């Protein structure tokens, strides 16, 4: 069977001939979003997750001896005479140390699964033997501990479902920056991990079908041209039915405030819930994704954006 050409065009939704420019732009964005997920060693290729022990030890899914002490990870080959663990240049890994900060990750090594097979649990609950392909090893720090997870060279095809485009889910909002950003600890997709998020302000808005105003905290995520984007991680009443436990969406704040800030109550932002996304936790059990902060639960169904993947 010939391999699929997983380009944005392959994933772009087919729209009716009467679709307007905004919906066409959304469809183009959907195609690019799905294509970006189907890259080699991307979010759809995670195959294992393990914490590093304090003393040098073998792990279930990767070759070598791994450990973490005093804020630093240590890596050593298991058998220097017959090296399986390779550096990113493809040369035998002689060992070394890596120091990362909370939330950081890096690809530190790779190996041929034909020489070191391992079992992986995939998103549909099936367990499968990984016994071929060059596997990448990602090292990271989550909740103050070092972890490793493996990434495979090719993703499984996953056409993530989405609600139909609905312009009523593009809502104006009032963004109010915090006097000083602050860090909150939040739960994550893993029961054994607490992570941290920096709150930059709050956003107030109304959504279809809900009379009361929603007030939620947002995190900074960067600049978009002359505008600033913030991330709103939220839960709603579709979770566990048609969507994962929580999702996230960008809040685009227009321009920059004047010397005295924005006018009180000024609608200075927009949220397009048609572009609400699933965190990588929706694609398998090996992602660590921050839960919404307390108060970011929308008491109504947000019937826009990405849905959960089918379980079979």
Residues 297/236, Cβ–Cβ less than 8 Å: yes
Look-up of token digits 């099936």: 126
Q: How many CA atoms lie within 13 A of 80 on its CB side?
A: 4
Task: Give the model's confidence band at 245: pLDDT under 50 very low, under 70 low, under 90 confident, else very high.
Answer: very high
Split at pLDDT 50, 70, 90, the class of 79 is confident
300, 210 in Cβ contact below 8 A?
A: yes
The pLDDT, as a whole number, for residue 125 is 66
Task: Note the pLDDT of residue 63.
Answer: 93
Mean pLDDT for the stretch of residues 246-267 = 77
* Cα angle 161, 286, 95; round to 5: 140
Closest by alpha carbon to 227, among 173, 189, 288? 173
Q: Return the higher-pLDDT residue of 25 and 265.
A: 25
pLDDT at 66 over 70: yes
Q: Could you read off the pLDDT of 131-187 as tens digits, one per residue?
A: 889 999 999 999 999 999 999 988 888 889 999 999 999 999 999 988 899 999 999
pLDDT in tens, 19-50: 788 999 999 999 999 999 999 999 999 999 99
The 10s digit of each residue's pLDDT in 200-217 is: 999 999 999 999 999 999
- Over residues 188-207, mean pLDDT: 94
pLDDT value, residue 1: 34
What percentage of residues in the chain have a pLDDT greater than 90? 69
Least confident interval from 227-231, 257-261, 292-296: 257-261
- How many helices (H) and strands (E) the chain has is answered by 2, 16
Per-residue model confidence as pLDDT tens digits over 270-280: 999 999 999 99
For the purposes of burial, counting CB atoms within 10 Å of the CB of 35, is it exposed (0-12), middle (13-18) or buried (19 or more)?
Answer: middle
Q: Is the pLDDT of residue 108 over 70?
A: yes
Structure-token pair, residue 267? 């609608």
Q: What phi and psi, each to the nearest 5 degrees, are found at residue 177?
A: -70, 150
- Locate 48 and state its tokens: 């294992």
Q: How far apart are CA 312 and CA 310, in angstroms?
A: 6
Half-sphere exposure of residue 71, counting CA atoms within 13 Å on the CB side? 3
Q: Which of 33-42, 72-81, 121-130, 184-193 bottoms out in mean pLDDT, i.e. has the lowest?
A: 121-130
pLDDT given at position 11: 72
Question: What is the reported pLDDT for 156?
Answer: 82
Place of tokens 């914490």: 51
> What rounded mean pLDDT belongs to the chain?
89
User: Which pLDDT score is estimated for 2?
Assistant: 43
CA-CA distances (angstroms) from residue 77 to 62, 80, 84, 169? 11, 6, 8, 53
Question: In the prediction, which pLDDT does 20 show?
Answer: 83
Residue identified by tokens 């189907």 is 38
Q: CA 58 to CA 108: how far, in whole Å? A: 16
- Cβ atoms of 189 and 287 within 8 Å: the answer is yes
Which pLDDT does position 220 carry in this prediction? Answer: 78
């Amino acid at each position: 069977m010939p391999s699929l050409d997983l380009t944005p065009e392959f994933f772009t939704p087919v729209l009716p001939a009467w679709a307007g420019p905004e919906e066409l732009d959304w469809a183009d964005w959907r195609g690019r979003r799905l294509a970006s997920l189907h890259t080699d060693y991307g979010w759809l290729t995670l195959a294992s997750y393990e914490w590093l022990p304090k003393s040098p030890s073998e792990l279930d899914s990767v070759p070598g001896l791994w450990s973490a002490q005093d804020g630093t990870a240590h890596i050593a080959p298991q058998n220097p005479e017959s090296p399986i663990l390779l550096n990113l240049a493809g040369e035998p890994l002689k060992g070394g140390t890596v120091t990362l900060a909370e939330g950081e990750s890096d690809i530190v090594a790779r190996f041929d699964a034909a020489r070191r097979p391992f079992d992986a649990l995939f998103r549909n609950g099936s367990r499968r033997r990984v016994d071929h392909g060059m596997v990448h090893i990602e090292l990271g720090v989550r909740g103050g501990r070092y972890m490793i997870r493996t990434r495979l060279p090719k993703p499984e095809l996953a056409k993530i479902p989405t609600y139909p485009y609905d312009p009523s889910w593009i809502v104006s909002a009032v963004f109010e920056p915090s006097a000083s950003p602050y860090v909150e600890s939040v739960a994550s997709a893993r029961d054994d991990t607490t992570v941290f998020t920096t709150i930059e302000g709050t956003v107030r808005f109304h959504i279809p079908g809900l009379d009361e105003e929603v007030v939620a905290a947002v995190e900074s995520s960067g600049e978009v041209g002359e505008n600033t984007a913030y991330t709103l991680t939220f839960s709603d009443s579709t979770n566990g039915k048609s969507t994962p436990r929580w999702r996230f969406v960008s809040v685009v704040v227009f321009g920059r405030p004047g010397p005295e800030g924005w006018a009180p109550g000024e609608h200075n932002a927009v949220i397009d819930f048609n572009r609400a996304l699933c965190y990588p936790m929706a694609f398998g059990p090996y992602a660590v994704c921050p839960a919404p902060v307390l108060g970011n639960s929308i008491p109504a169904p947000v019937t826009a954006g990405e849905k959960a993947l089918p379980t079979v």
